[in-house]
Amino acid sequence: MGDRLAGRRALITGGAGGIGAATCQVFCEQGARVAIVDLEREAVEAAAEAVRSEVAGAEVLPLDADVSDESAAAGAVEAATRTFGGLDILVNVAGIRSYEPLAEAKAETWRRILDVNLLSYAYTAKAALPALRRSGKGSVVNVSSTYGVSGRAGMGQYDATKAAIIAMSRTLAFEEVEHGVRVNSLCPGYTMTPFHIRRGEARGLTREQVLNEEVGDCLMRRWADAREVALPILWLASDEASYVTAANFMIDGGRPVR
Ligand SMILES: NC(=O)c1ccc[n+]([C@@H]2O[C@H](COP(=O)([O-])OP(=O)(O)OC[C@H]3O[C@@H](n4cnc5c(N)ncnc54)[C@H](O)[C@@H]3O)[C@@H](O)[C@H]2O)c1
C-alpha cells in the first residue's frame, strides 16, 4: 500500500473493463476510495470484489449505470459524492467500438458511439465539476486512444470520438483552471484487456496467440498490460502532476503519428 492518493475520492467509468478495473486497483493501492461505474450490476460488483481481494482494506463502491444517459451519469456522480462526502478525481474510461467503414456507417451506430464515448465524458464531468471544484485538487483524466491522433481505415466512428475527447478535455482544462481543476487526456495503444481476449477467442485464438500477433508500428513491439496504462492515469490524478493540465499523453510503447 502507498499513499499517493491518500484521502482522495475517485469515480471511474467503465470500471468493470480492463483499463478501468486496473485503474481502480492502483488507486486503491495508493489509498483512494473509488466508485466504479459500469453497465451491469453483476460485472461491476465482481470487479469491486476482485480489487478488494487484491488490496487489503480497499474501499470500492460499485455502481451500475449507463453513463451515456445524462441523468444516469449524474446519478452515479451524485451517489459517489454522497457516499464519500465529496469527489476529487474523475476518470472516464467507458467506451465501445464500431467496425463500420465510413462509407457504410449507419446513423444509429454513429449516435450510439457518440453517446457512449464522447457525451458520457461530458455528462460525468458536468455533474462532477461542483464537487471537483470544492476539492481544491480536482483532476479529470479522460481515456482516448492512439487513433484519436493517427489514422487508419475501418473504425472511423470510434476514431472520431477519440479525437473529440482530446479536444473536449483541452477545452475543459482552459475553462476549469481558474477553479483549480486539472484536465488531461491519455491515448493508450495496444492494451491487453478482457475485451481483446474475448475478441481473439471469437477468432479461435488464445490470449497468448493474440499477444504474439503482429503489433505493427509499436516501437516496443508488444502489447501493454492494463496496469501500464493505469499507472500513468494514477500519476495524472495525483499531486505529482500538479503542474500538468490541458495535456494529452501517448501511452503506446512508441508509435508514429500519421
Ligand atoms: N484496450 C485497448 O487496446 C485500448 C486502446 C486504446 C484505447 N482504449 C480505450 O480504453 C477504454 C477501456 O478499454 P478496455 O480495453 O479496457 O475495454 P472494455 O471494453 O473492457 O472497457 C470498457 C468498459 O466500459 C463499459 N461501458 C461501455 N458502455 C458503457 C456505458 N454506456 N455506461 C457505463 N459503462 C459502459 C463496458 O461495459 C466496459 O466494461 C475504452 O474507452 C477504449 O476505447 C483501449
Residue 245 — pLDDT band, cuts 50, 70, 90? very high
Q: Tens of pLDDT along 87-130? A: 999 999 999 999 999 999 999 999 999 999 999 999 999 999 99
The residue-averaged pLDDT of 240-249 equals 98
Total residue count of the chain as it appears in this document:
258
Residue whose CA is at the smallest distance from ligand 1 atom 41: 95
Domain over 9-251 is classified CATH 3.40.50.720: yes
Residue 70 — pLDDT band, cuts 50, 70, 90? very high
What residues are annotated to the active site?
Answer: 158
Q: Tens of pLDDT along 8-55? A: 999 999 999 999 999 999 999 999 999 999 999 999 999 999 999 999
Indicate if the pLDDT at residue 167 is higher than 80.
yes
Q: What is the largest CA-CA distance in the chain?
A: 52
Domain spans in the chain, listed from the N-terminal domain onward: 9-251
DSSP class per residue in 56-95: TT-EEEEEE--TTSHHHHHHHHHHHHHHHTS--EEEE---
Q: Is the CB of 15 under 6 A from ligand 1?
A: no
Q: Which atom of ligand 1 is nearest to the CA of 146?
A: 6
Residue whose CA is at the smallest distance from ligand 1 atom 13: 19
User: To which H or E segment does residue 38 belong?
Assistant: strand 33-38
Predicted confidence at residue 184, as pLDDT, reads 99
CB 211 within 8 A of CB 184: no
Predicted confidence at residue 113, as pLDDT, reads 98
Ligand 1: distance of its center to the CA of 178 in Å? 31
Ligand 1: distance of its center to the CA of 17 in Å? 6
Predicted confidence at residue 215, as pLDDT, reads 85
Q: Is the CB of 116 under 6 A from ligand 1?
A: yes
Q: Which atom of ligand 1 is nearest to the CA of 18?
A: 16
Give Cα 86 to chain centroid, integer Å. Answer: 20
Predicted confidence at residue 107, as pLDDT, reads 98
Q: Is the CB of 253 under 6 A from ligand 1?
A: no
- The DSSP call for residue 117 is I
Residue whose CA is at the smallest distance from ligand 1 atom 25: 14
Which among 26, 37, 39 is the best mutation to test ligand 1's pocket, defined by most ligand atoms within 8 Å of the CB? Answer: 39
Q: Is the CB of 17 under 6 A from ligand 1?
A: yes
**CA–CA separation, 80 vs 127, rounded Å?**
11
Predicted confidence at residue 214, as pLDDT, reads 76
Indicate if the pLDDT at residue 140 is higher than 90.
yes
Q: Is the CB of 38 under 6 A from ligand 1?
A: yes
Q: Tens of pLDDT along 184-227? A: 999 999 999 999 999 999 999 998 888 888 787 899 999 999 99
Residue 258 — pLDDT band, cuts 50, 70, 90? confident
Q: Is the CB of 113 under 6 A from ligand 1?
A: no
Indicate if the pLDDT at residue 181 is higher than 90.
yes
CB 161 within 8 A of CB 117: yes
Predicted confidence at residue 213, as pLDDT, reads 82
Ligand 1: distance of its center to the CA of 160 in Å? 16
Indicate if the pLDDT at residue 257 is higher than 90.
no
